Amino acid sequence: MSHDAPLEAREHSEHAEHAAHARDPFISKVSITVAVLAVLAATAGSLETVEGGQAITESSEAVLAQDQATDAWNEYQADSLKRHMYDIAAENGLAHFKDDSVAEQDAQAKARTKAVEAEKERDAKRMQSARHESRHHWLTGAATLIEIGIALSTVAIITRRQAFWLGALGLGATGMALFTVAYAG
């Protein structure tokens, strides 16, 4: 989200305080609702930003691990070609190349191990990125619903209609459910 959620939460809390001074019990309840929803929206918005950043970081690290795997597989192929050339030379009467062939086979095994490890890291980073991206989406929904609840609370204060306040409570509860889902899985 492009807005400053903590600043908005503070502003909503101030508006709620001013409304609470009206000494109307309904207005006081709705004002408290606004303050609570503002804190929840700020929290969801901040965590949404963190999760989005983590998703990007993990994705970048997955790309880096893929590059390392590709480099290792290229090294594996080069060692394989050298080994085969040394084998051909050894089979054609140049026996001293047999030791070089064995050395290339060892290098090839090390390159293979390195490539497989990098692929495992890549897969783990992709999974972590997907988890953070999923959380980001759930938190976006949570923050949006909670912010709409704040708007409905404001309408409830202006119109003094309980239906708008109940709608705001419902949206806040639904937003909190989405918030919970983001971290439950």
Task: Tell me the average confidence (pLDDT) per consecutive run of 10 residues in the chain, 185 residues long.
Answer: 61 60 83 95 95 96 97 95 92 89 93 96 96 96 96 94 97 96 88
**Does residue 165 contact residue 153 with C-beta atoms inside 8 Å?**
yes
Q: Rounded to two decimals, what is the model's pTM?
A: 0.75
Question: Which pLDDT score is estimated for 120?
Answer: 97
Q: What is the CA radius of gyration of the chain?
A: 30
Question: Which pLDDT score is estimated for 1?
Answer: 44
